[in-house]
Amino acid sequence: MRIAMLEVSHWHASMYLDAVRDMPECALVAVSDKRGELARLRAQEYGCRAYTSSEELLDEEEPDFVFIFGEHAEMVGLISMAVDRGIPFCVEKPAGLCASELKPLAERVRSEGLFNAVCYVYRVTPLAELLLRWREEGKTGRFTNCRFKYVTGPPSRYVDWRCEWMLDPERSGGGTTINLSVHYVDLLRYLTGEEVVEAAGQFSDQVFKEKIEDHSVLLLRTSGGTIGQVETGYTGAGCPEDRDHFELMTEEREMVFEGREGRLRWWDRDGRRGEEVLPRVEPRAEFVRRTLKALSEGGRPPADLDDAVAVLEVLDMAGYRRKR
């Protein structure tokens, strides 16, 4: 399978490049970036051709599949290039700035039957698989309350990674909410199998005083009544519990997950308790493998543009663009 990647200066691109390189059935043929120097550096590292123009790459290389990165404000345009040429694709989250700009494209892709994926990688983690299996086995019952927390380093790291556009809300769409919180909004939808019908949010720039928010909290409610709380930030100063601290309540079981340790502790209402240590998996590499396997076998990707639209609709519902 001939693979291309667009706008590879994105800080996550190397994870996808490594994953494709490790798949013998795939050949990375070309990469693009509007900053030609960065495209050439990636191409040299991974042994493929470099383009400054993504459109030229697609026309010249005619790849079998394309991974799309780039600035959030450019994602819909890049997706459209692939769709216009009938090229199956996978796009990094959030896939656009708001639901209204992405929804027509998602509807078109669905009507044309074009294979597409969006990198909501928590769906392929050992944690998500275990929780869904427990639910199917009747060990948990319904989720009643899910609290997700992920706090990481300062926004200046994006400047260090040569992705300074992340600090410009016109190009990124905002800060921690559209970059990090979207993962957990999608995870809530995935674990419950329900859509979010109520959302409220608070967004703060009090630590770094940038044009983007550096901390946010969303309060959500699904159609079945599950309460979701999503807290993300760029405000971490080193607390080990900051990253992927989840508190999950179900009808039958209470659970706490510590992502740094890969440890899930649980307590049943009948007095039983236990602990699971989950295997370490690079989620983006796993997402790449499962997506390309689904494409080759005629299956469905882990997540697609319809999921991206649903997540962005939740941000709109929470007043994100108005409040941040």
**Based on the domain organization, do 295 and 242 belong to the same domain?**
no
**Based on the domain organization, do 144 and 74 belong to the same domain?**
no
pLDDT of residue 240: 66
**Based on the domain organization, do 237 and 297 belong to the same domain?**
no
Query: Could you check whether the bond before residue 301 is cis, i.e. omega within 30 degrees of 0?
Result: no
From residue 80, alpha-carbon distances to 52, 58, 320 in Å are: 18, 12, 25
**Based on the domain organization, do 276 and 168 belong to the same domain?**
yes
**Based on the domain organization, do 194 and 139 belong to the same domain?**
yes
Residue 221 lies in a domain: yes
User: Quick check: 28 pLDDT over 90?
Assistant: yes
Whether 212 contacts 203, CB under 8 Å: no
**Based on the domain organization, do 34 and 165 belong to the same domain?**
no
pLDDT of residue 51: 99
Residue 144 lies in a domain: yes
Residue 316 lies in a domain: no
Q: What is the Cα–Cα distance from 217 to 220, expressed in whole angstroms? A: 10
Q: What is the Cα–Cα distance from 19 to 218, expressed in whole angstroms? A: 33
Work out the average pLDDT over 289-311.
Answer: 98
**Based on the domain organization, do 202 and 142 belong to the same domain?**
yes
From 319, 313, 166, select the one nearest 234 (Cα to Cα): 166
pLDDT in tens, 134-150: 999 999 999 999 999 99
Residue 319 lies in a domain: no
Q: Residue holding tokens 């890969």?
A: 262
Residue 230 lies in a domain: yes
pLDDT of residue 12: 96
CATH number of the domain at 178, please.
3.30.360.10
The 3-state secondary structure of the chain reads CEEEEECCCCCCHHHHHHHHHCCCCCEEEEEECCCHHHHHHHHHHHCCEEECCHHHHHHHHCCCEEEECCCHHHHHHHHHHHHHCCCCEEECCCCCCCHHHHHHHHHHHHHHCCCEEECCHHHHCHHHHHHHHHHHCCCCCCEEEEEEEEECCCCHHHHHCCCHHHHCHHHHCCCHHHHHHHHHHHHHHHHHCCCEEEEEEEEECCCCCCCCCCEEEEEEEECCCCEEEEEEECCCCCCCCCCCEEEEEECCEEEEEECCCCEEEEEECCCCEEEEECCCCCHHHHHHHHHHHHHHHCCCCCCCHHHHHHHHHHHHHCCHHHHC
**Based on the domain organization, do 112 and 166 belong to the same domain?**
no
Q: What is the Cα–Cα distance from 252 to 196, expressed in whole angstroms? A: 22
Residue 313 lies in a domain: no
Whether 197 contacts 226, CB under 8 Å: no
**Based on the domain organization, do 155 and 206 belong to the same domain?**
yes
Place 241 in a pLDDT band, splitting at 50, 70 and 90. low
Whether 178 contacts 25, CB under 8 Å: no
Whether 1 contacts 63, CB under 8 Å: no
Residue-range definition of the domain harbouring residue 215: 126-280
Work out the average pLDDT over 247-276.
Answer: 97
Whether 119 contacts 91, CB under 8 Å: yes
**Based on the domain organization, do 60 and 32 belong to the same domain?**
yes
Q: Residue holding tokens 């597409």?
A: 116
Total number of domains constituting the chain? 2
User: Quick check: 97 pLDDT over 90?
Assistant: yes
**Based on the domain organization, do 273 and 293 belong to the same domain?**
no
Side-chain-facing half-sphere of 320: CA atoms under 13 Å: 28
Whether 151 contacts 236, CB under 8 Å: yes
User: Quick check: 195 pLDDT over 80?
Assistant: yes
pLDDT of residue 239: 80
**Based on the domain organization, do 171 and 239 belong to the same domain?**
yes
Q: What is the Cα–Cα distance from 182 to 43, expressed in whole angstroms? A: 30
pLDDT in tens, 59-94: 999 999 999 999 999 999 999 999 999 999 999 999
Kindly state the percentage of the chain with pLDDT values over 90.
96
Residue 317 lies in a domain: no
pLDDT in tens, 113-123: 999 999 999 99
CATH number of the domain at 30, please.
3.40.50.720
pLDDT of residue 242: 63
